[in-house]
Structure 1
Amino acid sequence: MNGGIGRAGLVGMMLAALVGCGGSSGDSDDSAKAKAKAGAGARTTAAASESSVASASQDRLSSDVLQSRWWTWAASEPEATNPVADEDGRECGRNQPKDVWFLAGTFGTRAERTCTVPGGVPLAFPLVNLVADPADCAEFMSAAEGSAVLDGEEIDAETSRGETISVDGVAGNPVTGTGERFTATGCGLWVQLPPLRSGKHTLEIRGRSQDFSVAVDYALTVESA
């Protein structure tokens, strides 16, 4: 997720102060809803080690569903308790769904977070991502890169060059800045992991596109299923 005017970390370029890049002072409220950047970083390569991952055969969310759900989750809390603005991981469990555990990027800063994750639940997160219009996504993705390293092993990232997604949030959230539901184009570099084995894990997330970059180091404790 991702910085921009203000903070939309996860939103790399938020429009109006959200995550990412906002529009100019002449942008309308509608255009502001359509541009949000977020991030966590992304380059790609090798699969996670078997010692860290329970199974690689878990069902995966489609790109449009993943992005719609992640952005809605990221925009579900005001700044004081928002997982993207979280500095140490204390807010990582906010509003988590039961079938997947989302991790957040930042608003363009570096963070070190400690987070306890329930066992038996897959994880999903962006390396770097954006909500905007098709043209903005094309430009953003032309420079997007990043990496995710789990327990010392680099893991694969998926590239989304642009899908239509729907985002909902609470009023005043720092990611989209609006409590209204809107439809836009979502793009980015994304990682989906099957449930991790119980115990302690490290996860390093890095992402960059143009002048926006994200760096998050997670110390994860996975509970027994």
Structure 2
Amino acid sequence: MCGRNQPHDVWFLAGTFGGQVTRSCEVPGGLPIAAPVVNTFGDAQYCAAFMSSAQGTVLLDGKVVEPETHRGGSITVQGVEGNPLTGEEGRFAATGCGLWVQLPPLAPGAHSLKIRGRSGDFSTGVDYALTVAASAA
């Protein structure tokens, strides 16, 4: 499932709706990787409150990677039926905020990515076992 709806220039890994999960994912070689540590959307005030207590840690192959802080930016959300976050169908404008990790392309082979995030009572955690394919020549 990791390859569904991926753009051509970056590989996105999914976060969680809360709680801890373990996932395995095959990643094409030569692409940078981006993943949420802890994030949300709402209006500007909601994001400011969320970010006031946002914190997170990321370990790639046991080494610390500092997450990037995104305090709020205008985004367009596409809500679909059954999505627990949007509560509605259709497109709407919101403010997106959170902590994200961006990794350069990884060497081919196996990698471990451990992500932990928290803001207030909301916490997320993902342990990824990544297998990076060799880049196409």
**Equivalent-residue separation in structure 1 for 2:132 and 2:67 (angstroms):** 21
SS in 1 for 2:90: coil
Residue of structure 1 equivalent to 2:33: 123
Name the aligned partner's letter for residue 220 of structure 1. Answer: L
**Equivalent-residue separation in structure 1 for 2:107 and 2:76 (angstroms):** 32
Quote the offset at 1:118 in angstroms. Answer: 0.6
Residue of structure 1 equivalent to 2:72: 162
Confirm or deny that 1:96 pairs with 2:6. yes
**Equivalent-residue separation in structure 2 for 1:119 and 1:148 (angstroms):** 21
Confirm or deny that 1:224 pairs with 2:95. no
Moved over 3 A (4+): none
- Measured on the aligned residues, the alpha-carbon RMSD in Å equals 1.2
TM-score (norm 1): 0.58
CA spacing shift, 1:179–1:100, aligned 2, 3 Å: farther
Name the aligned partner's letter for residue 181 of structure 1. Answer: R
Gap regions ≥5 residues in structure 1: 1-90
**Equivalent-residue separation in structure 1 for 2:111 and 2:83 (angstroms):** 30
Name the aligned partner's letter for residue 206 of structure 1. Answer: R
**Counterpart pick for 1:209 among 119, 124, 133:** 119
Confirm or deny that 1:135 pairs with 2:45. yes
Percent identity among equivalent residues? 62
TM-score (norm 2): 0.92
Question: Greater strand percent: which structure?
Answer: 2
